[in-house]
Amino acid sequence: MLNKDFLTLAGRFGTPLFVYNGDVLLERYQDLYRFIPHPRLQIHYALKANFNPAFLGLLRDAGCGIDAVSPGEVEYALFLGFDPQKIIYTANNMTDAEFEKVYKTGVVMNIGELSRLRKAGKAHPGMKVCLRFNPDVTDGDNVRTMTGGDLTKFGILLEDIDEVLSIVKEFNIKVVGLHEHTGSGIQKPESFHAAMKALMSIATPENFPDLEFMDFGGGFKVPYKPDEERIDYVTLGAGIAQRFREFEKQYGRELNIKFEPGKFISAECGTLLVTVNTLKRNRKRLIAGTDSGFPHLIRPVFYGAYHQVFNLSNPDGKEEVYDVCGNICETGDRFAEQRPLPEIREGDVLGIANAGAYCYSMGGIYNLRAMPAEVVVKGGKVISHRRRVSDSELIADITGTTEKCDMVL
Ligand code: LLP
């Protein structure tokens, strides 16, 4: 999309506005099938990365599955018409009620705790499950999202395999899949191979005779910084497919291979448009104050993540160094700190890049500012507009679920 397209959208729908380019979204999804040449590859989009309904509709129509992490996500994916056979529910720390709710849908449950596995077996002897293991490989773009190794709450330890097998035997559980997810934004291609190897080491026909698939999670990174190199996914994908074929031979029959990317499929298709309404100088700092803030795009504040910022209104302006801030009542409310950008004038529209994954979906209404509107563009047309709720609707939502209570303790 061109600068002028973004400015047209900002003019028509106002800012802050999330813009999702459906063509880029589908291209990334198809890329995975090109990169990983295996006939039984199944991609499940990590719905937590972006839950816009029109955006998900494009993936559904392209045949994509879903990686869901809460009963709400499972219900939502079913509501949107995703095939239950193409949904995996990777729970963590779920309640019995949540377990039963999802069990009834027939969606495969991915269980990552011995305690839950035992409860599942007791409640439904003979049930089909996928088991999530901790691959003991530590990689990712932030310690908070690394899910292998000693610091994580996720997955069953590989060394607990004997206990797993005894629970499986006791309750006649049918293990149809094995799963691991190493982390988000995996930096080293070798980590994919190491994690696959770890999971394959326990996936013998003696341990798990009923396997239908192996699921190696998400974590395919995309560049966020201008000078960041893209991983050579053609080589990585070929290696993955090759190793999986060798594994199938050892296992003795054909299996499906699954991945659950969020960032890779959707980060790059999204841009958050914001308008600069106030310019001010605080001694050495030039501050560009915008009409959005960290509750709309929290990654810089939460992970120290870098998102490129473009001055769409004045791309050829003379470069100056800015703190690009939001309108939230906190000093840390910055999208970018000390960033060289073409001269910003009040009224200029900025585009914050890679806003298609973990931006809207991690949002909130802190300071009682509603979340931005969202549009999905495809083939040069706006195919969906999810409007921003008004302040009165926001208040009605809060007050509407609040009632007087006279319970005595
Ligand atoms: N599968 C499982 C079990 C996961 O926990 C995740 C991400 C994924 C797949 C997808 O990972 P991806 O391909 O998107 O890296 N909010 C963070 C990322 C958190 C990811 C949580 N789990 C961020 O903004 O960087």
- What sections of 252-286 are H helices per DSSP? 263-266
68 CB under 6 A from ligand 1? no
* CA nearest to 309, candidates 259, 350, 363: 350
Residue 282, phi then psi, degrees to nearest 5: -115, 95
Residue 262 DSSP class? S
pLDDT at 15: 98
Distance CA 380, CA 289 (A): 31
Q: Say what angle helices 189-202 and 233-251 make with each other, to 10 degrees.
A: 10
358 CA from centroid of ligand 1 (Å):
8
- The residues with which 280 forms a beta bridge, in sequence order, are 287
Integer angstrom CA distances of residue 67 from 155, 237, 290, 344, 376: 16, 20, 34, 40, 21
Cβ atoms 130, 109 nearer than 8 A:
yes
Unique residue bearing structure tokens 């901790």 = 134
Asked if residue 300 has its Cβ within 6 Å of ligand 1, the reply is no
The Cα 168–Cα 129 span in angstroms is: 10
Q: Terminus-to-terminus CA distance in the chain, angstroms?
A: 59
DSSP string, 32-76: HHHHS--TTEEEEEEGGG---HHHHHHHHHTT-EEEE-SHHHHHH
CA distance 134 to 185: 17
Ligand 1 atom closest to 221 (CA): 15
d(CA 181, CA 154): 9
Task: State how far the Cα of 173 lies from the Cα of 165, in Å rounded to an integer.
Answer: 9
Residue 161: CA count within 13 A, CB half-sphere: 14
For ligand 1, atom 6, which residue shows the shortest CA distance?
218
Q: What per-residue confidence (pLDDT) applies to 266?
A: 98
Q: In the prediction, which pLDDT does 91 show?
A: 85
Instruction: Please tell me the distance from the alpha carbon of residue 322 to that of residue 282, in angstroms, as a whole number.
Output: 11
Q: d(Cα 266, Cα 45) in Å, to the nearest integer?
A: 9
How far away, in angstroms, is 368 Cα from ligand 1 center? Answer: 27
Strand-pair partners of 283: none
The amino acid at residue 185 is G
Token pair 């994916």: residue: 77
Looking at residue 150, its amino acid is D
> What three-state secondary structure class fits 217?
coil
Pocket test for ligand 1, best of 145, 178, 222 (most atoms within 8 A of CB): 145
Give SS3 for 337.
Answer: strand
CB atoms closer than 10 angstroms to residue 363: 17
42-71 as b/e: b if 16+ CB within 10 A = bbbbbbbbbebebbbbbbbeeebbbbbbbb
In angstroms, the CA 184 to CA 166 distance is 32
The one-letter amino acid at 158: L
260 lines ligand 1 (CB under 6 A): yes
In short, whether 259's Cβ falls inside 6 Å of ligand 1 is no
The rounded distance, in Å, linking the Cα atoms of 375 and 26 is 16
8 A C-beta contact, residue 304 and residue 404: no
In the chain, DSSP finds a helix count (H) and a strand count (E) of 12, 18
CA 232 – ligand 1 centroid, Å: 20
Evaluate: CB of 374 within 6 angstroms of ligand 1: no
CA 79 to chain centre: 19
The residues near 397 (Cβ < 8 Å, ≥ 6 apart) are: 389
What is the Cα–Cα distance from 368 to 328, expressed in whole angstroms? 10
CA 135 to chain centre: 20
Closest by alpha carbon to 225, among 273, 272, 274, 267? 267
Specify the pairing of strand 285-290 against strand 270-282: antiparallel
**Bridge partners, 133 (sequence order):** 156
The pLDDT averaged over each successive group of 10 residues in the chain (409 residues) is 97 98 98 98 98 98 98 98 98 95 97 98 98 96 92 95 98 98 96 98 98 98 96 97 98 98 98 98 97 98 98 98 98 98 98 98 98 98 98 97 96
